[in-house]
Structure 1
C-alpha cells in the first residue's frame, strides 16, 4: 500500500485505488501513526492528540472505535498492533512517503558531502518529488504536538531544496536554477546562503553586473531589517565576483559526469486490461520488505500470454520506490530471429547503465561480483525480460535486499533459489473483449459486437493474438470485424491471419517447438490428431505407441515448455492455437502412414478405455480394481454411482474428435457432418425385434464414431468400446444414451461375426436394462429373452423364464 502525508493525507491500495479514511479524528489518528511508524504510542498520548483541550467521557471508547475502523479500512489488522506500551503502526520499507523522503534526503546530502553531486542531485530531486503540496498533511487540522513534527519535516525540506540547488550549481546547471533562486530569495530575502547561490548562478550565466546588484540589495535589506552587515560567505562571494576569481568557473571534470539513476523501462501500454489478481500479487512482492536477500519474482507462461506487458505495467506503478534506477534488458530467450543474450554481454550493459565505464572483466563471475558490489544498498528495480533459462539469469541477480528483480520467461526457473513464481494463464473472455475495444476503438466494436466477440473467442485468451488482429484492423480501416471473424474461423488459415508486422503467433510458437527433442516434438505433433484440447495419458500413450510412464514424462516435458497445460493428475490440455500449430507441423513432418497408424492407435485407445467400464458393474462379483477401476476414474465416475456424466461426455467428445481426424489419416474421406448421440430420429433398427423410440439412429452414416469398426479395422474391439460407453452412461443415470450405445455395440458385434457370443448376450441384457430404466418393460423383456437364448445356446445357463 501507499501512505502519503507530504501534502494532503492519502492512502492507496495495491491496485492504486484510493482508500476512504473516514471522519476527521480518524484521519488525524492515522496521521499521528504515520509520523511515528514503528514506534509504540500510548493510549493516553493518542487521547491528548485527539482531544488536546477537553476529552469527552467516551474518549477511550471512541479511540478504540477509530483504531478498529482504520484496521478495517486498511484491510489488515496487523497494520496497527496493540502491545503493552501502546499502539504500533507497521509499514514495509517504501510504503510511507515520509520515511522514503527522509532516507533519500540523508543519502542525497551524504553524496553531496562526498563530492558525488550527480548521485546527490538524483536522490534529492526524488525526495522533493514526493511532496504533493506546500505542507505536511495539508488541509488537516492538527494538534500542537503533531504540528511540531510537521514543522520539522518542512525544515528538512528546505535543507533538501538548498542542497539540490548546490548540487545543480556544482554540475554546471546554473541556467535551470536561476528562476527558482530568484523566487526563493524574494520569499526569504534574509537567507544569505540563497543569495550567494543566486549571485553564483548569475555570474556563471554571464550576468556579472546583476550578481553584484543582488549583493547590494541584500546588504541594504540586512541593514534595514536586522541592523547587520552581510556574513563572511556572502562577502567572500562578492569579492570573488569583483575579482573574476577562477574558482567561480565550472570545473572541467563536471562536463564528463552523468547521473547514475537509469530509467530504462519500456513504455507502458495505455490499453493494458485486466489481470487484477496477478497485478496485486506482483505489486505486493515488489513493495514488501525483503527477507535478507534481493526479492526475485519470475513470471512464466506460454507464448503470447502477456508476461512482458504485465511486468512493465506493474514496474511503472512502483517506479517511484526505486530512486537509484530501473534497469531493463530483453534477454531474447524466445525472440524469433534473435539469439539469446550471453550473461557476460548483459552484465557489461548493466554496469554501463549504472555508470561503471571501466573495462568489464571478461570472466562472468568477476563481472557478476562487480555488479553485486555496485548494486549493494541501492534501491534498484531490475526487469529481465524474455529469459531463456535459469543459467542465463543466475549471474545477473543482485544480492542486496534493497533490490527487486522481475524475470519473465516461458520456462519455470525452479533451480533458482528463493524465487517467487507467478504463472500467467489465458485471459478471461470479458477482459479480452475490453482489450480489443481499447485497441481498435469502442465504436468499431460496438458496430458489430457479435463479430467482435467471435474474434475474441478465436484468439483463445492470448493477448498477443488480440493485439495482432487489432493491428490488422487499425492498418485497414475498411476491414470489418465480421470479415475478420470469417477469416479467423477457417482453421487452416487462422495462424496466417494472426500475423502483423513483426508479430506472429506461429513464429512465437516455433521458438518453443524447436527447443524440443525428437521424442517431445513427435508427441507434440501427434497430439494434434486427437482434434481436441483435453488429453489423457492413456490415450496419448496409445497414440504415440509408448508406455504410460514414458508418455507421462513426455507430456510433463511439453507442459514445462508451456506447449501443454497440466490440468489434473493424468490429464493435460492443449490450447486451440497450439493445436493448429501442431497440426501444421504434423502435416510437414509426419508421413501418411505414420498418421494413419497413430490415428488407429488413438481410436483403439479410446475404445479400450471405454470397454473396460463394462467389466466393473457393481452388481457383479468381480472386484473394482486394476484397469477397470482406472477406467471408472478416467470417466470421472465412482463405483458409488454418485458422479454425473460430465467426464463421460467429455471422453465421448474425445472419441468423436479422434474419429473426425481419422478419415484424413486413414484415407477414407472426410465426414460430412458431426454425428452425436443427441440426434433423436425414430425408426426401426437392423436388429430383429428391436424398435427405437426417441434415442438415435446408431447407423447414421455421418457419425464418425459409427464408422469406428471400419476405421480401426476391428469391429469386435469397437463393439466392446461401445458396450463400455453404454454401461457407463446407464450407471450414470442416462438410459437413453445407454440404449443408443448398446445398439451400436450390437451392430458392431454382428459386423464382427460375434452374433452368438457371450459378449453379445451381455449387450442384449444391458439394452434390456436400459429399456426397463426408461419404463418400456415390453422391449426390456424382449431383449432379455434374446440374451437368455444366446446364453442357453452357448450352454452357459439353463433355461430362464422371463
Structure 2
C-alpha cells in the first residue's frame, strides 16, 4: 500500500546495480515497477469477513473467551457450540470471538443466521465469497460436494448462528481439519448430535452485571443509586439482554431514577413488559423457543408458572400435573435441553425468573386453570411437610415452596389447611430457627382460626406465636400473645395443660425481664400441674429455669441442687435435648464451685448424647 516508497526503493536498487555491477534490474522486477508506477498492479482479493459489526458494551465473558480460544487453537474439536437460553448472549459472544480470531484464519471468517437462510442459500452465499457460483447446481447434495471442494485446503472460521437442528447444518460443515465451526444454539441436543465441544453460557456474574449498567448509564448515576442497581440486577437474574435493554431505557430517560425502575420491576405483574427497547425485547427472544415446543411441552412449560421461579422436584411437578414421574422427568429434561429450564442442586429443576414470568403468560394463553394447579401444589406440599416433618435435609430445599403453599391457602381462604400447615411445620421452624417465617404463618393461622371459631386452636396458635416472638427477643409481643392464650386455655376451655404451658413461657419472659419473683410464682404453679400429670420433662424444664434464677441471684448451691435434680428426673425420659442442656448448665455451675473434673465429665457425657 506504500506506492511512493516502492518506487523510491526501485530507483535506489537500480542506482546501486548500475554503479556496483553495471547491470540492470531483472525483467520481472522492472515489470513490477512499471505496474506500480502506472497503477495497473492487480490488488489482492480481500480476506472474507462476514460477521456483524463488533457489539458495544461486551462485558463479563473474558474467561469464557479464553476457554473458547484455547479450545479452538488446540483443535481438540472442529465444532464448538455456544449453548444457552434466549438473551444469554450467545450471538454477542460469537461476534466478539469472530473479531478476536480474525487474524488466525487467513482464508476468512464466514457468518450465517440459520433462522434467515436455509442450507442451500448459505452454501451459495459462502461459495460466492470465493468467486464460485453454485446457483446452477440443482441439488443440495451437489452444492455440498462443491463446497467441500472449495474449503478443502482453506483455513476458515465458519459461524452458524441460531441453529435449531443438526440436520439443517450438516450439509454446510466442511470436511477438512483446517476449518473450525462455531455454532450458537439453545438446544443442547443439537450440540451433542454434532459431536461438538459444548460450552454452556451462564448469566453474568454480579460484578459484570453491575459493570454493564455502569457502561451504558454512567458510573456516577449507578453509584448514586447503588442499592437500586443491585436490586435491578437481582430481579433480572443477571440476564445480559434484559440488563442491556433496561440500561438503554434508563440512559434515554435521564429523569427516570434507578430506584423508581427497580420498584416498577418489583410491582409489575410481568417483568417482561418493561424489557423492550425499539426492536429488541426479551419476550420476543423467549417466543422463538416457545414456538419450537410440542403441544405437550408447551403445556408443561406453562404449568411451571406455579413455581414462580422456585426450585422443584420432578415428583412435585408430576403430582401437580397428574402425570407419571418417569414421563415427567423425560419432559423436564427436554425443556432443560432446550435451555427453557435449568438444573438446581439435588436433581431438582429451576426456571430463570424471567422465563417463569413468560410461563405465567402462557398459562393464561393456553387457558390452563392456574387455581387448580395451585390447589394441587398446596396438597402436595402439605403431604410432603407432614411426611418429612423431622427430615430437615429433605425440607431445606422446599422452604420457599412450603411458605408459598401456606400463602395460597390464605389467599384462597383454605383456612383449615392453613392451620394444619402451621401445626405440621412448627417443630421444623423451631429446630431450624426460622422464626420470622413462623411468625408470619402464625398471624395468618390465627386469623383463620378466628374465622373458624376454634378456641383451642386459637389458644395454641397464640402460644406458638408468642414462643416464636420470644426466640427473637420480642418479649413485649410474646407476652401479649401468651397472656391471651392463657386466658382462653383457662376460661372457656379449662385446659390445664395448655394453661400450664402458657404460664411456663410467661415465666421465661419474666426471667428475661429480670422479674424473678413473678417468674417463681408462675413456676410454682406449673410444677404442681406437671407433678400431678407425672410430666417429667415439664418438671425438668421448671427446675432448670428455677436453677437459672438461683444462679442469677448468686445462690450457687441451690442452683447446683436444682440442676442435679433436673438431670436425675430426665434419666428416665427420651429427651436428649433436655439432657444435653441440663448437663451443660450443670457443668457451668461445677466450674463456678471449682469441681472441674465433674464439669469435664458432664460435658463429655453431653457430647455422647449428640
Of 512, 517, 524, the residue aligned with 2:294 is 517
Deviation at 1:308, TM superposition (A): 1.4
Name the structure 1 match of 2:94: 311
Determine if contact 1:529/1:662 at 8 Å carries over to the other structure: no
Of 1, 5, 24, the residue aligned with 1:230 is 24
CA–CA distance in structure 2, aligned partners of residues 229 and 183 of structure 1: 18
Deviation at 1:258, TM superposition (A): 7.4
Change (3 A) 1:518 1:597: same
CA–CA distance in structure 1, aligned partners of residues 319 and 209 of structure 2: 37
Change (3 A) 1:583 1:445: same
Name the structure 1 match of 2:515: none
Determine if contact 2:309/2:352 at 8 Å carries over to the other structure: no
Change (3 A) 1:424 1:662: farther
Of 65, 74, 83, the residue aligned with 1:300 is 83
Please report the RMSD computed on the Cα atoms of aligned residues, expressed in angstroms: 4.9
Name the structure 2 match of 1:366: 142
Name the structure 2 match of 1:380: 156
| SS of structure 2 residue aligned to 1:534 | coil
C-alpha distance after superposition, 1:508-563 (max 9, x if no partner): 11221232222222222222123342111122122111121122122112211211
Name the structure 2 match of 1:404: 180
Of 182, 189, 208, the residue aligned with 2:13 is 189
Which structure 2 residues correspond to residues 644-793 of structure 1 after superposition, within 5 A? 648-661=395-408, 666=412
Name the structure 1 match of 2:248: 471
Name the structure 1 match of 2:587: none
CA–CA distance in structure 1, aligned partners of residues 450 and 311 of structure 2: 25
Which structure 2 residues correspond to residues 40-119 of structure 1 after superposition, within 5 A? none
Which structure 2 residues correspond to residues 71-220 of structure 1 after superposition, within 5 A? 178-185=3-10, 188-190=12-14, 218=15
Determine if contact 1:330/1:386 at 8 Å carries over to the other structure: yes
Determine if contact 1:303/1:509 at 8 Å carries over to the other structure: yes
CA–CA distance in structure 2, aligned partners of residues 694 and 649 of structure 1: 11
CA–CA distance in structure 2, aligned partners of residues 354 and 786 of structure 1: 97
C-alpha distance after superposition, 1:124-167 (max 9, x if no partner): xxxxxxxxxxxxxxxxxxxxxxxxxxxxxxxxxxxxxxxxxxxx
| Structure number having the greater helix percentage | 2
CA–CA distance in structure 2, aligned partners of residues 494 and 422 of structure 1: 28
CA–CA distance in structure 1, aligned partners of residues 259 and 3 of structure 2: 60
Name the structure 2 match of 1:539: 316
CA–CA distance in structure 1, aligned partners of residues 95 and 434 of structure 2: 58
Determine if contact 1:365/1:395 at 8 Å carries over to the other structure: yes
Name the structure 2 match of 1:437: 214
Deviation at 1:474, TM superposition (A): 2.5
Deviation at 1:701, TM superposition (A): 7.4
Determine if contact 2:206/2:233 at 8 Å carries over to the other structure: yes
CA–CA distance in structure 1, aligned partners of residues 135 and 179 of structure 2: 24
Change (3 A) 1:651 1:229: closer
C-alpha distance after superposition, 1:88-131 (max 9, x if no partner): xxxxxxxxxxxxxxxxxxxxxxxxxxxxxxxxxxxxxxxxxxxx
Change (3 A) 1:532 1:260: closer
Determine if contact 1:538/1:605 at 8 Å carries over to the other structure: no
Unpaired segments ≥5 residues, structure 2: 416-420, 427-432, 465-470, 479-484, 486-492, 506-510, 512-522, 537-571, 574-610
CA–CA distance in structure 1, aligned partners of residues 439 and 203 of structure 2: 40
Name the structure 2 match of 1:448: 225
CA–CA distance in structure 1, aligned partners of residues 253 and 229 of structure 2: 16
* Mapped pair 1:329 → 2:100: no
Change (3 A) 1:526 1:785: farther
- TM-score normalised per structure 2: 0.67
Of 356, 380, 393, the residue aligned with 1:636 is 393
CA–CA distance in structure 2, aligned partners of residues 460 and 258 of structure 1: 49
* Mapped pair 1:283 → 2:283: no
Change (3 A) 1:779 1:343: farther
Deviation at 1:276, TM superposition (A): 3.3
CA–CA distance in structure 1, aligned partners of residues 376 and 91 of structure 2: 41
Name the structure 2 match of 1:498: 275
CA–CA distance in structure 1, aligned partners of residues 531 and 283 of structure 2: 55
Change (3 A) 1:420 1:236: closer
Of 375, 385, 388, the residue aligned with 1:610 is 385
Deviation at 1:393, TM superposition (A): 1.9
| SS of structure 2 residue aligned to 1:387 | coil
CA–CA distance in structure 1, aligned partners of residues 26 and 157 of structure 2: 45
C-alpha distance after superposition, 1:426-465 (max 9, x if no partner): 1111110011111222222123222222222222110000
CA–CA distance in structure 2, aligned partners of residues 786 and 564 of structure 1: 56
CA–CA distance in structure 2, aligned partners of residues 406 and 697 of structure 1: 49
Determine if contact 1:269/1:309 at 8 Å carries over to the other structure: yes
Deviation at 1:328, TM superposition (A): 0.9
| SS of structure 1 residue aligned to 2:312 | strand
CA–CA distance in structure 1, aligned partners of residues 23 and 123 of structure 2: 57
| SS of structure 2 residue aligned to 1:378 | coil
Of 193, 196, 199, the residue aligned with 1:422 is 199
Deviation at 1:578, TM superposition (A): 1.1
CA–CA distance in structure 2, aligned partners of residues 492 and 477 of structure 1: 25
Determine if contact 1:491/1:580 at 8 Å carries over to the other structure: no
